[in-house]
Amino acid sequence: KRLPYFAVGTVVKGFGRGSKELGIPTANFPEHVVEQLPDEITTGIYFGWARVDNGPTFKMVMSIGWNPYYKNERKSMEAYLFQETHIMHVFEDDFYGSELRVVMLGYIRGEKNFKSLEELISAIHSDIAESDRQLSLPEYEKYKDHSFFTEKS
Ligand code: ADP
Ligand code: MG
């Protein structure tokens, strides 16, 4: 895997995945940022660090995957790749249009389909706990102070 992987982009509106209603908001990168992902970065759940504009650096957990959608009324199916980041911090306000920079450091698991919303939510909570634990290890913690996060944007 091509880790660590650094990415920067403007936060855009996601497509009706309703993460905020589940208590787990995920900030989406625009298509041109997602397209830059190297092929070695497979779909699934990653952990790392994130910064919004010139704010502090926080732990994050990221999901990369394919979302199917109907392309037109003739119901031909297409899929778009998404890259969405949940930052482990409670923000006062949304930050659509802000600059989000992330470093992906480790891979937790592949994409999964869940039988129920409850199972999905509990999987996300365990991904967050696992990411939190890993990021406290010195080999991952040190990236918090990487020049990528200390430079002004
Ligand atoms: P969308 O479908 O637009 O991605 P979400 O319900 O996933 O909607 O909410 C994501 C938005 O919530 C982000 O774009 C950001 O503006 C805001 N937000 C607030 N707190 C967080 C957080 N801790 N992590 C990620 N996004 C957050
Ligand atoms: Mg989202």
What pLDDT was estimated at residue 79? 86
Query: Which residues are the active-site residues?
Result: 78
Which ligand sits closest to the CA of 100? 1
> What does the alpha-carbon distance between residue 147 and residue 110 come to, in Å, rounded to a whole number?
30
Residue nearest to atom 2 of ligand 1 (CA): 14
What pLDDT was estimated at residue 122? 94
Residue nearest to atom 17 of ligand 1 (CA): 94
Check if the beta carbon of residue 54 is closer than 8 Å to that of residue 152.
yes
Ordered structural domains, the chain, with CATH: 5-150 (2.40.30.30)
List of the chain residues with pLDDT < 70:
1, 16-18, 74
Check if the beta carbon of residue 126 is closer than 8 Å to that of residue 45.
no
> What does the alpha-carbon distance between residue 141 and residue 138 come to, in Å, rounded to a whole number?
5
Check if the beta carbon of residue 66 is closer than 8 Å to that of residue 79.
yes
What pLDDT was estimated at residue 1? 63
Apex 101 CA angle, 100 and 104, nearest 5 = 125
Q: Is 19 in the pocket of ligand 1 (CB under 6 A)?
A: yes
pTM of the model: 0.94
Atom of ligand 1 nearest to the CA of 87: 24
> What does the alpha-carbon distance between residue 106 and residue 9 come to, in Å, rounded to a whole number?
20
Apex 105 CA angle, 104 and 107, nearest 5 = 90
What pLDDT was estimated at residue 60? 98
Q: Is 60 in the pocket of ligand 1 (CB under 6 A)?
A: no
What pLDDT was estimated at residue 18? 63
Atom of ligand 1 nearest to the CA of 14: 2
